[in-house]
Amino acid sequence: WEGSSYRWNEEGTEALLLDGALHQTYTVDAPTGITQHTHYFPAREECGQCHTRAAGFVLGVRTGQLNRGGQIQAWMDAGLFIGGTPHDGALAHLPSPNDVGAPVSRRARAYLDVNCAHCHQPTHFTRAGLDLRYDTDLEHTGLLAPPTLGDLGVISAQLLTPGAPQLSILYRRILDTGSQRMPPLATAVVDTQAVTILAGWIEQLLRTTSVDTEDMASPGSFHLDLP
């Protein structure tokens, strides 16, 4: 696999292949009003930072993300698969962040899986040593530990501090708009919906000496001992 960046022409009729990285400023009609946004087009050699071998190179085209509204069945009916597939209910499914009927814990873990786990999983080397895949029990994610790549000025920082989003480096990194931001590449706008979901999840993880509940652990149960 090789990655490439394309930029639409002014007329919006053709996308042009870029030779390298590029910053382009656009006027955007945002929810908060008309604003100027500088978009970053990654260079070819940067694409592999997210489109990793561990994640299968192509991001998003995964059962858990596509399994909604009969999408997989529609593709099956269109003859896009070789052989049959299980019924939608038997396939992996990641809850939408908009699904307020799903526990906030599951929506938070789905966000981390989609936006972070392509790098942060055991089969892809990162210095952080995390496993943020959806089905990984919280106690095995590596989040319940001090940060190894900077504490962002937080005293006694943890990657995830149960009950305290502002003391959690995981939470603070998605709020950052500078060099400490995660995801680190081609992102410039804080995802306010994700911020709310992650804060709600972390606040659920109360400071108790014995935590064993599906809603709090998400997506499976875990046992957490805190000093």
pLDDT tens digits for 5-34? 999 998 999 999 999 999 999 999 988 899
Q: Two tokens at 168?
A: 């959690």
Ranges of each domain in the chain: 1-47, 50-93, 95-227
> 58-88, pLDDT tens digit by residue?
877 888 888 887 888 888 888 888 776 666 5
Q: Are strands 6-8 and 15-17 parallel, antiparallel or unpaired?
A: antiparallel
- CA–CA gap between residue 175 and residue 220 (Å, rounded): 27
Cα Rg of the chain (Å, integer)? 20
pLDDT tens string 130-183: 899 999 999 999 999 888 877 788 888 889 999 999 999 999 998 887 777 787
Going from the C-alpha of 202 to that of each of 89, 102, 175, 185, the distances in angstroms are 29, 16, 15, 25
pTM over 0.95: no
3-state secondary structure at position 16: strand
